[in-house]
Amino acid sequence: MQLSVMRTRLRRRIGNPDTIDVSDSILTEHINSAYRDIGARFRFHKIRKLCTFPTTSGVSRYGIPSDCEQVLRLRDATSGWKIRKADDRDEALQEALENEISGKPTSYIRQRDWVRLDPTPDGAYVIEMFYLASIIELSADADVPVIPASWHEGIVKLARHYFYDDSGDVPKSQYALSIYNSWLTTKPNEIDEEKRDLDKGVRLPTLDSGRSGFSQDDFDRGGSGWRY
């Protein structure tokens, strides 16, 4: 559904105010808010990406993609093992930093636009990063959300709630939210749909759960089909 269509539907559902009272830019703002929130809350293939980068001996910090909102998982593809997320209170990490330990990376910390691997790599390893990508806002009339078309209606419904909430109309805001939540109960995301097919014994050609080090839930069952 194009932005212009979503905007028309939203305008109709809030009583068809003219563009003097409610500009297109205001409606677009609420639509994008709903789009971002749905994209961040639910799992969609085109918003979750898989990339790889090689390590260099003696180097602990590595840049991450500019569209990375959240690092979901790191994996050492060379050995087939996950790299766990650590924090500054992690005792093993502190020991590695204090003693300048090097070896095969076993943990990481995300800092702004880079990740730090610990221990510091002692050689070349291929690291796979699975991450939540940022949403590119809709701006042109012909722009279409990257999430499945079946979810575009939800963007309009949630945007209506945001419109009334922003205008201070609590009863209409609550009503719009209840309508959205009711609609939401009927919408499994596309990854859950694939899981349902897998549970029934249907093997999807883009999935690859047989690689060394992967459990069935690794990378939300994305496998090589999500390589960007």
* Residue that wins the pLDDT comparison between 107 and 203: 107
Instruction: Classify residue 38 as exposed, middle or buried by CB count within 10 Å of its CB (0-12, 13-18, 19+).
Output: buried
Q: Please, what's the b/e burial string for 81-114 (b: 16 or more CB within 10 A of its CB; e: otherwise)?
A: ebbeebeeebeebeebbeeeebebbbbbbbeeee
Please name which of 163, 183, 198 lies closest in space to residue 25, comparing C-alpha atoms.
163
Q: Does the pLDDT value for residue 11 go beyond 50?
A: yes
Partnered with residue 75 across adjacent β-strands are 82, 128
Q: Write the single-letter amino acid at 110.
A: R
Q: Write the single-letter amino acid at 109.
A: I
How many C-beta atoms surround the C-beta of residue 66 within 10 A? 8
Q: Which two tokens stand for residue 210?
A: 């047989």
Summarize pLDDT for 141-168 with one digit per residue, the tens. 999 999 999 999 999 999 999 999 999 9
